[in-house]
């Protein structure tokens, strides 16, 4: 089986500056036992009860929980640390590329599924800064009122010299008391630790810090090593939350319509894969814009925020939010999603951002002594165009200059560069020219692994060789480098109604480092998956080796075929080349 040639460390690599004001995750956090949910389901139930959560079913055959509300105080608490500006929520201007996604019955529009028809929009809603109200009035309630008279007839005012002596004496006494308290508490004997020491999570440097002053700071939780090392990785495609999928999670949690969900039932079929790999990637295809805005499916998605906790606790620890649906909730949706994922620092997430400073930070993490940089991009936003002053909100692969800048930074900060890409023509089993051009650009700049998705069907896995020269004719420092490109992992969980959209894959590989420090991608493997649902519910993913003929006959779509299991096997081998990757579990 082919593997990438071992790449010597780039001359730009500077491990001493690995932590230059970047988001970082500790060695113990990623790939170890999945953390428990940030809150127990009982606590979330109590929170929703206190916030007056309601749910109701629509009049169609698809029972949907919609328009659940949460208190404004809760919403403000979750996003107050990141919110500086606020934009409108534009609506689609043209037919959404998810047009074949069946969040409602075939042939029905969004209205039939209980989703309001999208309003006629402008090109990216205009935005304006929102100034937070101050907690006190302009005139402080603690201001002293002027005296109406002296205390007692004939009272003398102290001289300026006396006032100065009194103030100085008070300062000396206050300082002495402070020093006594500090010594008594042992404050001067406590060693200084880095912000991430003693934690397992993602360390996010304060945005007000000047990155230039952080250039030599190295105590941010990473523990890179030298010598031989190996990290295992798994990757799956679109976590595409159509309303029937949401309903499956709603039923799985217990009482339907109570605002609580259990999405882990959808992922259960690959638990053994996730548990045996260090890094587990998933595409967060649909945004979590806040349950209080109403849960919605196609065409403008708003996925329950509970899914973040289920993804994290299941064991996924690497995720992208840069997809064609990333702007479905506008800037407010992006902010809410960032705040939601901030509650799960064990998951490294990138692709959407809350400021230019946030956009400029490269996500860096370490596992088994190997350091990784993680980038993510999309190439299409379903007709949305970001306002020019918010271009930082979603990473765009069409901005090649910025992509190159990101990759160059990534090489300085880490040994291995991984890129997640939302791209391609929907339902096309071969990459288009735009995908190939973008992938070659990344290969020419030394990216090690590209994880693609967005077509809703699987596409080939290929090795790409870096060009010997750059676009201006100079010698390419990455000449001879090979990039393993997974053009599309297909869907992961969805309710799409085409047979080929329910044939999927889990890609796995090892990322190794030899004694001389060269990084290589080894043992690339493709594990065929099937997205199963029956009677419009019960959405869950199976490995093909575990998928029985009886289950296949019950599948809402595959069950109509003469030989559903044969179809899955044939379709997989027609798209995935066994000369490039090992296909495991085909029979």
User: For the segment 143-157, what is each residue's pLDDT rounded down to a tens digit?
Assistant: 223 333 333 334 445
Q: Which residue has the higher pLDDT, 92 or 3?
A: 3
83 in any annotated domain: no
Pairing of strands 449-453, 482-489: parallel
Q: How many other C-beta atoms can be found within 10 angstroms of the C-beta atom of residue 516?
A: 11
Q: 536-563: per-residue pLDDT in tens?
A: 999 999 999 999 999 999 999 999 999 9
State the average pLDDT over residues 564-586.
Answer: 98
Report d(CA 444, CA 379) in Å as an integer.
19
Has residue 4 been placed in a domain? no
Number of domains in the chain: 1
Between residues 207 and 423, which one has the greater pLDDT?
A: 423
What residue numbers bound the domain in which 411 lies? 15-36+201-583
Q: For a pLDDT cut of 70, what percent of the chain falls above it?
A: 62
Report whether the peptide linkage leading into residue 205 is cis, meaning its omega lies within 30 degrees of zero.
Answer: no
Residue 7 is encoded by which pair of tokens? 């790449």
- How far apart are alpha carbons 91 and 406 in whole angstroms? 30
> Residue 43: inside a domain, yes or no?
no
- Flag whether 253 is in a domain: yes
CA distances from 209 to 26, 442, 577 (A): 21, 31, 48
Q: Give residue for tokens 């003693």.
A: 198
Higher pLDDT pick, 225 / 513: 513
Q: Which helix (H) or strand (E) holds 311?
A: helix 306-314
| CATH classification at residue 208 | 3.60.21.10
Residues 278-329 have pLDDT tens digits of: 999 999 999 999 999 999 999 999 999 999 999 999 999 999 999 999 999 9
Size of the chain in residues: 587
Is it the case that residue 12 has pLDDT exceeding 80? Answer: no
Mean pLDDT score, 403-429? 98
pLDDT tens digits for range 185-196 = 443 333 322 223
Please tell me the predicted confidence (pLDDT) of residue 222.
Answer: 77
- The whole-number pLDDT of residue 453 equals 98
Is pLDDT above 80 for 497?
Answer: yes
- Looking at residue 182, its pLDDT comes to 46
Residue 415 has pLDDT above 70, yes or no: yes
pLDDT of residue 471: 87
Q: Is 187 helix (H, G, I), strand (E, B) or coil?
A: helix
pLDDT of residue 505: 98
Residue 255 lies in a domain: yes
Q: What percentage of the chain has pLDDT greater than the value 90?
A: 61
CA distance readout (Å), 541 to 281, 284, 502: 15, 16, 9
**pTM given for the model:** 0.70
When pLDDT is cut at 50, 70 and 90, the band that residue 97 belongs to is: very low
Of the listed ranges 135-139, 492-496, 541-545, the least confidently predicted one is 135-139
Which helix (H) or strand (E) element contains residue 350? strand 348-350
Residue with tokens 């702007």, as numbered in its chain: 327
* Residue 192 in domain: no
Mean pLDDT of 455-478: 96
Higher-pLDDT residue of 59, 328: 328
In this structure, what DSSP letter does residue 539 have? E
Q: How far is it, in rounded angstroms, from Cα 289 to Cα 328?
A: 8
Q: Is the pLDDT of residue 262 over 70?
A: yes
Higher pLDDT, 27 or 319: 319
Q: Do 233 and 511 meet the contact criterion of CB atoms below 8 Å apart?
A: yes
In a domain, 212, yes or no: yes
Q: Is the dihedral of CA 467, 470, 471, 473 positive or negative?
A: negative
Mean pLDDT within 450-467 = 98
Does the structure show a pLDDT above 60 at 408?
yes
Averaged pLDDT for residues 431-456: 98
Top-confidence residue, 224 or 258: 258
Other CB atoms within 10 Å distance of the CB of residue 163? 11
Q: Enter the tokens of residue 27.
A: 């060695």
Cα separation, 287 vs 303, in Å, equals: 6
Which of 337, 445, 277 has the alpha carbon at shortest distance from 82? 337
What is the residue-averaged pLDDT of the chain? 76
Instruction: Indicate whether 370 pLDDT > 60.
Output: yes
| 165 alpha carbon, distance to own chain's centre | 60
Average pLDDT over residues 511-519: 96
Q: Which residue has the higher pLDDT, 93 or 333?
A: 333
* pLDDT mean over 190-205: 31
Nearest-angstrom CA–CA distance, 82 and 99: 33
Q: Do the Cβ atoms of 240 and 286 come closer than 8 Å?
A: yes
| pLDDT exceeds 70 at position 27 | no
- Output the pLDDT for position 9: 55
Tokens of 60: 């169609």
Res 409 pLDDT > 80: yes
Cα(320)–Cα(283) distance, integer angstroms: 5
- The answer to whether residue 465 scores a pLDDT higher than 50 is yes
Cβ–Cβ under 8 Å, residues 326 and 352: yes
Q: CA 264, 269, 272 angle in degrees (round to 5)?
A: 100
Within a domain: 103: no
- Are the beta carbons of 348 and 367 closer than 8 angstroms? no
**Strand 537-543 with 348-350, pairing:** unpaired
């Amino acid at each position: 089986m082919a593997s990438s040639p071992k790449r010597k460390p780039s001359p730009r690599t500077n491990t001493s500056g690995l932590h230059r004001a970047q988001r970082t995750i500790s060695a113990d956090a990623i790939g170890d036992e999945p953390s428990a949910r940030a809150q127990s389901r009982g606590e979330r139930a109590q929170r929703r009860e206190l916030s007056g959560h309601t749910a109701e079913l629509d009049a169609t055959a698809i029972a949907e929980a919609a328009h659940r509300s949460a208190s404004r105080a809760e919403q403000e608490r979750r996003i107050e640390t990141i919110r500086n500006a606020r934009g409108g929520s534009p609506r689609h201007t043209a037919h959404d590329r998810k047009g074949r996604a069946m969040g409602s019955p075939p042939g029905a529009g969004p209205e039939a599924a209980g989703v309001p028809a999208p309003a006629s929009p402008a090109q990216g809603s205009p935005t304006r800064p929102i100034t937070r109200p101050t907690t006190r009035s302009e005139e402080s309630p603690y201001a002293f009122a002027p005296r109406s008279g002296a205390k007692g007839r004939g009272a003398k005012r102290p001289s300026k010299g006396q006032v100065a002596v009194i103030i100085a004496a008070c300062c000396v006494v206050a300082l002495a008391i402070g020093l006594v308290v500090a010594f008594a508490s042992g404050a001067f004997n406590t060693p200084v630790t880095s912000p991430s020491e003693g934690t397992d999570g993602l360390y996010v440097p304060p945005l007000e810090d000047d990155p230039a002053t952080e250039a030599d700071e190295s105590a941010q939780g990473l523990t890179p090593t030298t010598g031989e090392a190996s990290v295992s990785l798994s990757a799956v495609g679109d976590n595409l939350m159509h309303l029937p999928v949401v309903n499956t999670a709603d039923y799985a949690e217990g009482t339907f319509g109570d605002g609580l969900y259990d999405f882990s039932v959808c992922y259960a079929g690959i638990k053994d894969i996730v548990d045996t790999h260090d890094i587990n990637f998933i595409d967060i295809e649909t945004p979590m814009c806040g349950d209080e805005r109403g849960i919605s499916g196609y065409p403008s998605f708003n996925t329950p925020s509970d899914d973040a906790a289920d993804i994290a606790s299941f064991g996924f620890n690497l995720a992208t939010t840069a997809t064609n649906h990333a702007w479905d909730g506008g800037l407010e949706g992006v902010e809410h999603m960032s705040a939601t994922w901030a509650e799960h620092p064990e998951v490294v997430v990138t692709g959407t951002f809350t400021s230019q400073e946030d956009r400029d930070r490269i996500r860096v993490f370490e596992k088994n002594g190997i350091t990784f940089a993680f980038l993510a991009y999309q190439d299409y936003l379903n007709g949305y165009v970001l306002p020019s002053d918010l271009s930082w909100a979603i990473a765009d692969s069409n901005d090649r200059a910025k992509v190159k800048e990101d990759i160059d930074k990534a090489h300085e900060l880490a040994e291995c560069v991984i890129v997640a890409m939302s791209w391609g023509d929907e339902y096309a089993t071969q990459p288009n020219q735009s995908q190939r051009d973008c992938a070659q650009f990344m290969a020419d700049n030394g990216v090690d692994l590209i994880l693609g998705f967005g077509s809703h069907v699987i596409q080939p896995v290929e090795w790409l060789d870096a060009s010997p020269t750059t676009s201006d004719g100079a010698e390419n420092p990455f000449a001879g480098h090979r990039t393993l490109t997974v053009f599309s992992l297909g869907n992961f969980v969805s309710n799409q109604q085409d047979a080929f959209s329910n044939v999927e894959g889990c890609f796995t590989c090892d990322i190794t480092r030899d004694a001389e420090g060269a990084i290589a991608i080894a043992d690339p493997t493709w594990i065929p998956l099937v997205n199963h649902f029956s009677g419009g519910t019960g959405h869950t993913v199976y490995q093909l080796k575990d998928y029985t003929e009886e289950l296949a006959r019950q599948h809402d779509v595959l069950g109509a075929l003469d030989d559903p299991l044969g179809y899955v096997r044939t379709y997989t081998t027609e798209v995935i080349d066994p000369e490039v990757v090992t296909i495991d579990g085909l029979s």
